[in-house]
């Protein structure tokens, strides 16, 4: 096994050198015989072994490898190669950074090669849309009428428009999430809708709508009236369980401005039981971001001061074990200063042990590796501010070739 690994690494090194001249996904060519471009391993490897070796390349290199010659293009486009690729665990989640608040233009960051790529996202029209991702698929929903809802693979550009869930455009707050079964590729989209009861600021109608890709239809799983709490725009699905943050509508203490609600999407719980799943947050938060990291719920939060919970004093990472929060890490002060210690809210998302944290006020992107317990700045994003108050935001997604909506 050790000898085979060394041989694969040797072949990978040669292939990377051969395709290193390609710097973007858009450069395509069927020419295989130009002068000086012969690949030595290509002459001796059968297709099945070449497929296995190519599957270990970073996904950006796979796209460029498909441009080397006709044979390689057919290999990386084949169903068998996609199966091999799906069983390789070397891919890491990318981060797409929007460079303005009114356009979907941006760059995607590859943490393996530490490079930024200029890629176009399908479907999305403005960067302030609701966005959720899971296992290679990204879901977009417009922020105005909330009638435009798409699921797409941002790498292959495959996409599908979903039907409009009932009554969504009449909500005051909405939280979007998607979960993909890694075995069957079946997916569920969940929307938590929250609307104030007319004339009563402390009562909020909350409903959960779920789309099943196999049945291709929406179902309203639950409706309930919350007293003193409302839904927001933060939710995620982990292993079939929906988690979403709720926010106090007044009368609470600084420690309980936020709370977490859990809902098992397969249990079809009866009405009136939702608030019983309430889990308090671990400390006063200026903001909280939820994410699925290997089917465990992880929250990145701005830590507020005890006497002034709207003033941020740090950023922490917690994982939920049962109903208890376990602190995983706290951003070191040197990174907190460089990140923007006066920004009480920020963007954050992650999966597969990688967590991204981004300031809204600058294109700075910080990563935390939960496996190696390591903080690291990304390579500088190739973008400059167009105007002084320009905002930046983004989302994390898995780069996959075999997943389609």
Tens of pLDDT along 189-246? 999 999 999 888 788 999 999 999 999 999 988 888 888 899 999 999 999 999 999 9
- Indicate whether 52 and 156 sit together in one domain: no
Asked whether residue 257 is assigned to any structural domain, the reply reads yes
Domain boundary among the residues 86, 114, 139 is at 86
Domain boundary among the residues 86, 102, 118 is at 86
- Indicate whether 79 and 100 sit together in one domain: no
Give me the residue label for tokens 């999430």: 177
pLDDT of residue 381: 86
Q: What is the CATH number of the domain that holds 251?
A: 2.120.10.80
Asked whether residue 81 is assigned to any structural domain, the reply reads yes
- Please determine, for residue 170, whether its predicted confidence score (pLDDT) is greater than 70: no
- Indicate whether 269 and 382 sit together in one domain: yes
Asked whether residue 132 is assigned to any structural domain, the reply reads yes
**In Å, how far are 25, 146, 258, 326, 336 from 302, measured between CA atoms?**
37, 28, 12, 16, 11
- Please determine, for residue 27, whether its predicted confidence score (pLDDT) is greater than 50: no
Asked whether residue 241 is assigned to any structural domain, the reply reads yes
- Indicate whether 110 and 21 sit together in one domain: no
pLDDT of residue 135: 93
**What residues contact residue 93 under an 8 Å CB cut-off, 6+ apart?**
111, 350, 351, 352, 354, 356, 396, 397, 398, 399
- Indicate whether 295 and 388 sit together in one domain: yes
Phi, psi angles (nearest 5°) of residue 393: -150, 180
b/e string for 225-263 if b means 16 or more Cβ within 10 A?
A: ebebbbbbebbbbbeebbbbbbbbbeeeebeebbbbbbb
- Indicate whether 159 and 275 sit together in one domain: yes
Give me the residue label for tokens 């420690």: 255
Give me the residue label for tokens 């099943």: 212
Q: How many domains, in total, are found in the chain?
A: 2
- Indicate whether 124 and 225 sit together in one domain: yes
- The DSSP symbol for 155 reads T
- Its pTM stands at 0.85
Domain region containing 10? 2-86
Asked whether residue 328 is assigned to any structural domain, the reply reads yes
Residues in the chain: 405
Asked whether residue 333 is assigned to any structural domain, the reply reads yes
Give me the residue label for tokens 């889990």: 279
Mean per-residue pLDDT of the chain: 83
Asked whether residue 404 is assigned to any structural domain, the reply reads no
- 132 in Cβ contact with 176 (< 8 Å): yes
The model's confidence at residue 175, banded by pLDDT at 50, 70 and 90, is: very high
Domain boundary among the residues 86, 112, 135 is at 86
The model's confidence at residue 252, banded by pLDDT at 50, 70 and 90, is: low
- Indicate whether 160 and 240 sit together in one domain: yes
Structural Rg of the chain based on CA atoms: 23
- Indicate whether 118 and 232 sit together in one domain: yes
- Indicate whether 69 and 159 sit together in one domain: no
**What residues contact residue 393 under an 8 Å CB cut-off, 6+ apart?**
97, 98, 101, 127, 347, 358, 360
- Indicate whether 10 and 101 sit together in one domain: no
- 245 in Cβ contact with 300 (< 8 Å): no
- Indicate whether 159 and 257 sit together in one domain: yes
Asked whether residue 161 is assigned to any structural domain, the reply reads yes
d(C-alpha 141, C-alpha 97), whole Å: 17
């Amino acid at each position: 096994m050790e000898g085979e690994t060394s041989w694969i690494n040797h072949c990978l090194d040669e292939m990377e050198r051969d395709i290193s001249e390609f710097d973007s996904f858009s450069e395509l060519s069927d020419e295989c015989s130009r002068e000086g471009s012969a690949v030595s391993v290509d002459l001796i490897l059968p297709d099945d072994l070449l497929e296995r070796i190519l599957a270990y390349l970073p996904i950006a290199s796979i796209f460029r490898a498909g441009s080397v010659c006709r044979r390689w293009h057919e290999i990386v486009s084949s169903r068998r190669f996609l199966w091999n690729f799906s069983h390789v665990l070397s891919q890491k989640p990318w981060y797409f950074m929007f460079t303005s608040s009114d356009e979907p233009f941006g760059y995607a960051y590859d943490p393996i090669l530490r490079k930024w790529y200029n890629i176009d996202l399908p479907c999305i029209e403005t960067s302030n849309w609701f966005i959720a991702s899971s296992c290679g698929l990204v879901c977009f929903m417009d922020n105005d009428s909330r009638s435009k809802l798409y699921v797409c693979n941002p790498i292959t550009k495959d996409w599908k428009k979903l039907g409009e869930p009932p009554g969504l455009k009449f909500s005051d707050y909405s939280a979007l999430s998607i979960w993909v079964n890694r075995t069957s590729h079946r997916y569920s989209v969940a929307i938590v809708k929250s609307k104030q009861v007319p004339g009563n600021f402390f009562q909020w109608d909350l409903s959960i709508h779920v789309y099943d890709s196999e049945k291709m239809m929406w179902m309203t799983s639950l409706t309930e009236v919350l007293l003193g709490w409302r839904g927001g725009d933060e939710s995620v699905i982990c292993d079939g369980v929906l988690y979403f943050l709720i926010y106090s509508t007044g009368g609470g203490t600084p420690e309980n401005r936020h709370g977490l609600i859990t809902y098992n999407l397969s249990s079809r719980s009866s009405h009136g039981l939702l608030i019983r799943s309430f889990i308090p947050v671990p400390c006063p938060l200026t903001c909280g971001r939820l994410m699925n990291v290997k089917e465990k719920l992880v929250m990145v939060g701005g830590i507020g001061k005890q006497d002034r919970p709207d003033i941020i004093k740090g950023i922490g990472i917690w994982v939920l074990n049962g109903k208890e929060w376990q602190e995983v890490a706290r951003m070191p002060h040197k990174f907190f200063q460089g990140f923007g210690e006066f920004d009480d809210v920020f963007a954050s998302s992650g999966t597969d042990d990688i967590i991204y944290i981004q300031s809204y006020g600058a294109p700075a992107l910080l990563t935390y590796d939960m496996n190696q317990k390591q903080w690291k700045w990304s390579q500088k994003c190739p973008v400059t501010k167009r105007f002084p108050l320009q905002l930046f935001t983004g989302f994390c997604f898995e780069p996959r070739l075999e997943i389609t909506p």
